[in-house]
Amino acid sequence: MIYLDNAATSFPKPERVIAAISRYCREIGANPGRASHRLAREASAVVARTRRLLAHLLGGVDPSRIIFTPSTTVALNLALKGLLHAGDHVLTSSMEHNSVLRPLHHLERLGITHTRIPCSPEGLLDPADVRRHLRPETRLIALVHASNVTGGLMPLAEVGALARELGLLLLVDGAQTVGALPLEPERLSIDLLAGPGHKSLLGPMGTGFLYVRPGLDLETLWEGGTGSHSESTAQPGSWPDRFESGTLNAPGLAGLAEGIAEVQERGVDAIAAHKTRIMERLYQELGLLPGVALYGPARRQECVGTLSFNVTGLASNEVAHILDTAYGIAVRPGLHCAPAAHQTIGSFPKGTVRVSVGPYTTEDEILALITAVEQILRYRR
């Protein structure tokens, strides 16, 4: 199988990730922070190491400001619902994932409004449009770093500088970029950053995080046992305990630590350059084929390793089915949980075929996909 669905989750996982999960389950097994015996202490050390590694990857942020969550979706919900109050207004883009749009839709019933800033047909945002859509009650800009449909990057540096100038908060959905590109919240004026462990950080599913800059507080969305301050019925105020009630996915975090270590050893810049190189080849070759429609920025340097296309006369799910069953190539068809993005680029409601590469994707695998699409077009004709 040629796996080209890394925007959904990375595969294959490094052997060191699998070994770390297995070791935790076989040799540690204890609940972190819930006892003082040796195994519980070792479990706590695993969680602490993962937090430190992630903090280092994010440019040396305070590890205590990293909250572990089961996913980016949970992290985004915590950020939006823990931060906003009735009367607040949020600016976002027309390229957002449902993990942002659905919570914002839900919050409308509480008197929290939002505006989607239209992006170009390529899915790109003009930073000047952010200023044009400001309201007196605007408090937050919520922005995806890279589209999960086109791979197109948003102008984070410019938007972050604007947010600082205007005294606004910036929440970034880093689902497609944490581990895929250098991403330092302090340098980019990011106040809150949500990300997954199972995509470009190469860890297992069920791991994610929310980083919250020092000085900014959130309301808790759930309360319970944290292993600390057990004498009180009040939720602890200390970070990150305040937001990590219940048992953490410690085996998953053990694997995530090794995924982060793998990314650091390979180098984020080197991984990004590899993806750009092979995606440029894919974009150029597919663009030469009559009957193939490409979406998103033509300059692949403005993208992460994701590309969407369609074949004239075939639905995206038909193309994906043929690639899977006849060629052993895994891609993802449809709307990718981002209908607004597809409306922006003109592929709604039919969706697209999405190709997304990882650090282990080879140029030969990309050539195999190009050959397969050529043969599908020939057969279609």
Report the Cα 70 to chain-centroid distance in Å: 13
Task: Show Cβ contacts of residue 245 under 8 Å, excluding neighbours closer than 6 positions.
Answer: 220, 222, 223, 224, 225, 226, 235
Is residue 303 within 8 Å of 356, Cβ to Cβ?
Answer: no
DSSP 247-259: ---HHHHHHHHHH
Is residue 177 within 8 Å of 205, Cβ to Cβ?
Answer: no
The H or E element that residue 48 is part of is: helix 38-57
**Does the annotation mark 303 as catalytic?**
no
Please give the Cα distance from 291 to 380 (Å, whole number).
Answer: 10
The H or E element that residue 66 is part of is: strand 66-69
Catalytic hit among 25, 119, 303, 337: 337
User: Cα–Cα distances in Å, from 166 out to 119, 131, 162, 211?
Assistant: 21, 9, 6, 22
Is residue 380 within 8 Å of 314, Cβ to Cβ?
Answer: yes
| Beta partners for residue 333, in sequence order | 353
Question: Tokens for 267?
Answer: 């180098």
Structure letter (DSSP) for residue 26: I
Please give the Cα distance from 354 to 162 (Å, whole number).
Answer: 32
Is residue 251 within 8 Å of 45, Cβ to Cβ?
Answer: no
Residues assigned a catalytic role: 337
